[in-house]
Chain A
Amino acid sequence: SAVISQKPSRDICQRGTSLTIQCQVDSQVTMMFWYRQQPGQSLTLIATANQGSEATYESGFVIDKFPISRPNLTFSTLTVSNMSPEDSSIYLCSAQGNEQFFGPGTRLTVL
């Protein structure tokens, strides 16, 4: 199974600022995904991070708010832009090789 790391593990941010979350996989993977999980709820897919092209966003998520980069087959970033308290959540990076695995998550609190 792939080992996935995320940075930062948690952050407290002010309204109106932006935070970039990094995701590193220890092996090359075909697909990488970004999810959001709000307290007590299931996983919501934000977007699929495509290597060499724009990310594919799910309904309700837009590039201006959640820009994503994927410069190679082992790394991706998610930026949460112009944050509001409603963006407080856990953000999870996921990678798919033969199976899909998750990183440890980034717990974001917006004040």
Chain B
Amino acid sequence: QKEVEQNSGPLSVPEGAIASLNCTYSDRGSQSFFWYRQYSGKSPELIMFIYSNGDKEDGRFTAQLNKASQYVSLLIRDSQPSDSATYLCAAYTGTASKLTFGTGTRLQVTL
């Protein structure tokens, strides 16, 4: 079982819709969770992180964490074509002092 799992997609949503990206993790010791966006040919850029159960909002982005279910999600409201990219979920475990990445979900926002 992979430590951090994501559906590879592509996830296709129309412009203006809400895109929902999901991630599950296996290590209950994971303390915080990060969402990165990676455009083709570019390096990952940090969108947001979350470490407490519940929701965290930043502009059009909302991260959701449910530690009991070992589930993290990223919602993108009012999706734009510029949001088309691969979204990487990562879990941080303090004991290992490193991020473990999922394989990423490719999002396509269509006109």
Contacts and interface: CB of A to CB of B under 8 A. Distances in A.
Interface of A: 1, 31, 33, 41-43, 45, 48, 92, 99-105
Contact of A101 (B46, B98, B102): B46
A42 B99 CA distance: 12
Contacts of A43: 44, 88, 101
A49 to B, nearest CB: 12
Interface in B60-111: 88, 90, 97-99, 101-104
B80 to A, nearest CB: 22
Contacts, number: 35
A41 B106 CA distance: 11
B43 A103 contact: yes
Interface residues of B, number: 17
Tell me the dominant secondary structure on chain B's binding face: strand
A1 B88 contact: no
Contacts of A33: 98
Contacts of B98: 33, 45, 48
Contact of B104 (A42, A45, A102, A104): A42
Given A41-B103, A43-B88, A102 B34 contact: no
A105 B44 CA distance: 10
Interface in B15-63: 34, 36, 42-46, 49
A100 B49 CA distance: 10
A31 B42 CA distance: 22
Quick one: which of B44, B45, B49, B102 has the most chain A CB within 10 A? B44
Contacts of A100: 34, 46, 90, 99
A1 B46 contact: yes
Contacts of A42: 88, 101-104
Nearest to A107: B41
A37 to B, nearest CB: 9
Contacts of B49: 99
Contact of B45 (A45, A48, A102): A102
A43 B46 CA distance: 14
B64 to A, nearest CB: 19
